[in-house]
Amino acid sequence: MYDASENDLRFAIQHGLDAKMREMVASVYDLSDDTVDAVLSEAAKFSRDVLAPLNHSGDIEGCTWHPDNRVTTPKGFKEAFQQMAEAGWCSMEASEEYGGQAMSKILSAATAEMWHSANLAFSLCHLLSQGQIHALETFGSDDQKQTYLPKLVDGTWTGTMNLTEPHAGTDLGALKSSATRDGDNYRIKGQKIFITYGDHDMAENIVHLVLARVDGAPAGIKGISLFIVPKFMVNADGSLGAQNDVKCVSIEHKLGINGSPTSILQFGENEGAVGYLVGEENQGLQIMFAMMNDARFGVGVQGLSIANRAFHQAKSYAAERVQGIPMERELGDTIQHHPDVMRLLSGMRAEIEAMRGIMVYSAAANDLAKNKAGDSAFWASRSELMIPILKGWLTERSVSIASDGVQVHGGMGFIEETGAAQHYRDARILPIYEGTTAIQANDLIYRKTLRDQGVAVRALVADVSETAKTLSTSDDTISTAAKALVNAAQAADGAIGAILTGGMSMRESGAVSVPLMMMLGTLCGGWMTLKSAQAAQEQKDSGNWDQTFLDAKIAYAHVFATQSLPQVDRYAQTIKAGGTAVEAVSPEMLWA
């Protein structure tokens, strides 16, 4: 069962943001109702008619590695990507100078939600290319931009990100891939693993962004540089030449996202792959983080997407399955009338509402930071703060929501034919790639909480509290949820205070970093469901929306306030207790 959730996205974009914030974004981008409607309608059609039908078959067939080092994607993927490129979907955010449409990240994120929900494995190719476009627009030379961006933007070529090596995952300072100067260029040698769409048959060329160490560079992360390494060399007239010295030696066999080729790439088996330096030597990590942050935003969106797909699958099954007589109901009523099934479904739906709100808000903050609209320094800080929260909380919750989707199906959820198991398998990678949950949490606590003594994070909590306090005094039905959010914000602020003034060691802070991230994600989720409920209340007499749709938005805020928001206090208590208990457990004790 696939549902693009057009109306939910439309409502979130048109009414989920504060009026002032939406006005600022709309001063830079076209967010008119006509534009939003047109983009979402066409994106939903493409997702429903082209991408979704390939999701299950792509999972079953998977990708194929051939002895000549070629990789072919599942049946229909190549044709679907060509349709995607021809329709202009690859060019939404890119600059008009290189053939892009320069659209708001809000609209780009909304369509990405549809792509990933329809077919997560397929859409990963698009996600990596968008990140590379962003990095090259920001740091590439004029020649590099003119050579690579038009083809990446129109979907003729695709891009990858090459960080991980067999011995160096998170620890990028340990990478061994080398770059030897060769005239104006470099020769790259080394092996990279876990490269999403590192080789495939969907595009004419694949442009790799590769981290490597120039001969004589400083040790550790300070000596890392970034290089463009195309699969096929690009001639002066833009045509493709000989294949570069890079090949796919294998693809991984995985738990999920089987339609996506996860490649092992060998660079420089012979004379060395030709690479072109991006920026300056030893700037590689800084530049790669620009691409990585964009990718982390995209993976957070994937969390929302797969959660939404799992919810609609479970909702549809529960509306058809008859099992027992639900309490105070009649024979023949479906399982959606069982109280606990409704607890699961309504909880899933409320958290999805929260996720979508966080996505739209974070995208808007990114738009304002990028275009220096309003207080651009504030929005740059807020956008950076939201990345680990969005990536971490949305992906962690997606696994739980997909698990709940299996639970609603009962035994049939454990059987592959229903599709519920695929969503659960696909979701499990999301808290891992593009920086694990712990990496997001470390970024949040060390760089974005302790570094500025909590200024940015406490400003976020204060904004949540202000909205909650304003709505808690109203006479309408959302005041109860608002009061719960006031209390949650107070608990969160107290926990942040404990981190800042509690005398925790760096290790102890690390032990409570994930609870901090989950606490802030849950708090922001309550904020977003409350904003949505407020907007629904205001739209009651507009005649623009179905009344049941609006009543549901208000109900989701109550469900989140009662089912999810209490977790804020639990996380706060864990944070206040500190990491002493965890630190008291030695590795030897694990084997005792």
Residue numbers annotated as active site: 434
Task: Give the tokens for residue 538.
Answer: 């205001």
Tokens encoding 90: 């690859």
Amino acid identity for residue 189 in this structure: K
Q: Give how far Cα 550 sits from Cα of 51, 181, 357, 461, 534, Å.
A: 29, 62, 15, 27, 10
Cβ within 8 Å of residue 40, ≥6 positions away: 4, 6, 9, 10, 110, 111
C-beta neighbour count of 441 within 10 angstroms: 23
Hey, what amino acid is at 214?
V
Give how far Cα 374 sits from Cα of 53, 184, 208, 308, 382, Å.
43, 42, 36, 33, 13
Q: What is the CA radius of gyration of the chain?
A: 24
Q: How many other C-beta atoms are found inside a 10 Å radius of the C-beta of residue 179?
A: 31
Phi, psi dihedral angles at 70 (to 5 degrees): -85, 155
What SS3 class is residue 331?
A: coil
Which residues make beta-bridge pairs with 205? 157
Strand, coil or helix: what is 264?
A: strand
Cα–Cα distance measured from residue 127 to residue 216, given in angstroms and rounded to the nearest whole number: 34
Is 568 in contact with 519 (CB distance < 8 Å)? yes
Query: CB neighbours of 15 closer than 8 A, spacing ≥ 6?
Result: 532, 535, 536, 538, 539
Identify whether the C-beta of residue 576 lies closer than 8 Å to the C-beta of residue 494.
yes
User: For the chain, percent helix, then strand, then coil, each to nearest 5?
Assistant: 60, 10, 25
| Token digits of residue 250 | 């294998």
